[in-house]
Amino acid sequence: MAASKSRVARTEPGPVTLQHVADTAGVSRATASRVLNGSSRIVGSELAERVMRAARDLRYVSNAPAQALARSRTTVVGMIVHAVDDPYFAAIAAGAMRVAAEHDLLTMLANTFRDPEREIDYVARLRAHRALGLVLVGSGFTDPELTERLSEQLTDFVETGGRVALVRHQSLPFDTVLPENRRGAAQAAELLLALGHRKIGILSGPDGLSTIEHRLAGFRDTLRAAGADVPDDAIVTADFTRDGGYAGMLELDQRHPELTAVFALNDPTAVGAMAALREEIGKSVPQDVSVIGFDDVPTAQDVTPALTTVRLPLEEMGERAMRLLLEPSDRSPRTIRIKADLVVRQSTTSVT
Partner DNA sequence: CATCCTTGGGAACGCGCTTTCCAACGGCTA
Partner DNA sequence: TAGCCGTTGGAAAGCGCGTTCCCAAGGATG
Residue 256 main-chain phi, psi, to 5 deg: -135, 75
- When the beta carbons of 70 and 101 are compared against DNA, the nearer one is 70
Measured at the CA of 132, the angle between CA 127 and CA 135, to 5 degrees, comes to 80
Decide if residue 75 touches DNA (CB under 7 A): no
Q: Is 66 in the site for its own copies (CB under 8 A)?
A: yes
Q: Is 347 in the site for DNA (CB under 7 A)?
A: no
Considering only residues 261 to 290 of the shown chain, the ones binding its own copies according to CB under 8 A are: 271, 274-275
**Could you say which residues in the range 288-307 bind its own copies, by CB under 8 A?**
298-299, 301-304
The residue type of 216 is L
Residue type, 316: E
Q: How far is the CB of 96 from its own copies (least distance, A)?
A: 10
- Piece of 43-51, 123-131, 169-177, 219-227 that binds its own copies (CB under 8 A): 123-131
Q: Are 201 and 256 in contact (CB under 8 A)?
A: yes
Answer whether 73's CB lies under 8 Å from 64's CB: no
Q: Are 120 and 153 in contact (CB under 8 A)?
A: yes
Binds its own copies (CB under 8 A): choice among 26, 41, 44, 64:
64
Q: Which of 7, 10, 28, 336 binds DNA (CB under 7 A)?
A: 28
| H/E segment holding residue 323 | helix 314-326
The residue count for binding DNA (CB under 7 A) is 30
Residue 93, contacted partner among DNA, its own copies, none, CB below 5-8 A by kind: its own copies
**Angle CA(158)–CA(161)–CA(166) in degrees, nearest 5?**
40
Return d(Cα 127, Cα 110) in angstroms, integer.
Answer: 13
Q: Looking at this protein, which amino acid is placed at residue 115?
A: D
Q: In the sheet where 261-264 sits, what is the strand order?
A: 235-237, 200-204, 261-264, 290-292
SS3 27: coil
Q: Which stretch binds DNA (CB under 7 A): 30-38, 92-100, 192-200, 300-308?
A: 30-38
The binder of 97, among its own copies, DNA, none, by C-beta within 5 to 8 A per type, is its own copies
Q: What gap in Å lies between CA 229 and CA 186, rounded to an integer?
A: 13
Q: Which of 189, 205, 200 is nearest to 256 (CA)?
A: 200
Contact mark string toward DNA, 48..67, x via CB under 7 A: --------------xx--xx
Q: Considering beta carbons, is residue 36 or 321 the nearer one to DNA? A: 36
**Minimum distance between the CB of residue 157 and its own copies, rounded to whole angstroms?**
8
DSSP SS3 for 87: helix
End-to-end CA distance of the chain: 92
Nearer CB in complex with DNA: 29/334: 29
Please enumerate in sequence order all residues whose Cβ is within 8 A of that of 36, keeping only pairs 6 or more positions apart, or say none. 18, 21, 51, 52, 55, 60, 62
- Residue 283 CB, nearest approach to its own copies (Å): 15
Please, which of residues 157-196 interact with its own copies by CB under 8 A? Answer: 159-161
**Contact flags string 137-166 toward DNA, x per CB under 7 A:** ------------------------------
Residues at the interface with its own copies (CB under 8 A): 13-16, 59, 61-66, 68-69, 74, 76, 83-85, 87, 90-91, 93-94, 97-98, 101, 106-111, 113, 118, 124-130, 156, 159-161, 242, 271, 274-275, 298-299, 301-304, 315
Residues at the interface with DNA (CB under 7 A): 14-15, 17-19, 26-31, 33-34, 36-37, 39, 41-44, 46-47, 62-63, 66-67, 69-72
